[in-house]
């Protein structure tokens, strides 16, 4: 996983973290979490075979995913 700080203009600022349900804010530290191949048959086949594929991912606060303390705009 890669962590990053949300800039002022980011599409996620309109979203809520699926773990804590708090709205993302500028400066929050976040990451993408792969959740699977989605409904694409080719990606599903590659996943079943244990091969690399382009995963569907969701964004969440870094601390919500890892439990690590980080600088976030929410407690």
pLDDT per residue as tens digits for the range 31-57: 999 999 999 999 999 999 999 999 999
Strand partners, 23: 16
User: pTM of the predicted model, to two decimals?
Assistant: 0.78
Q: Is residue 72 pLDDT above 50, yes or no?
A: no
Q: Which residues contact 19 (CB under 8 A, 6 or more apart)?
A: 60, 61, 64, 65
Q: Which residues pair with 56 in a beta bridge?
A: 36
The CA distance from 26 to 7, in Å, is 5
């Amino acid at each position: 996983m890669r962590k990053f700080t949300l800039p002022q203009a980011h599409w996620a600022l309109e979203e809520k973290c699926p773990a804590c349900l708090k709205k993302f804010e500028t400066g929050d530290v976040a990451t993408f979490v792969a959740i699977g191949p989605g409904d694409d048959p080719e990606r599903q086949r590659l996943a079943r075979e244990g091969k690399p594929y382009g995963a569907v991912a969701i964004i969440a606060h870094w601390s919500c995913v890892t439990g690590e303390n980080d600088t976030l705009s929410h407690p």
